[in-house]
Amino acid sequence: MEYQVMTPVQIREKGLEALRQHLGVAGMVRFLQQTELGWGNYTEERQQWLGDPDINEIAQKIQANSPKP
């Protein structure tokens, strides 16, 4: 097997092509969804989204959003 020097972009393109050929487009997308690491810091962002509610605040939000009989 001949060694070929490739840039990171070329490696990604070849990898995506191999996935598409062997898994099809839908399979390739599903594989990528399972393996992509994402970015950001979930713990810090979660704190920004949710704050630090106490149990009473959580209960009030659940009751406010529950369907009425």
pLDDT at position 52 is 86
Close Cβ partners of 32 (under 8 Å, ≥ 6 residues apart): 19
Q: Assess whether pLDDT exceeds 70 at residue 35.
A: yes
Is position 3 within any domain?
no
User: Three-state SS string across 1-53, please?
Assistant: CCCCCCCHHHHHHHHHHHHHHHHHHHHHHHHHHHHCCCCCCHHHHHHHHHCCC
State the residue range of the domain holding 56.
Answer: 8-65
Q: What token pair was written down for 56?
A: 């009473």
Number of domains in the chain: 1
pLDDT at position 1 is 58
pLDDT at position 46 is 84
Mean pLDDT of 4-15: 91
Tell if the pTM clears 0.85, that is, is over it. no
Is position 24 within any domain?
yes
Is position 2 within any domain?
no
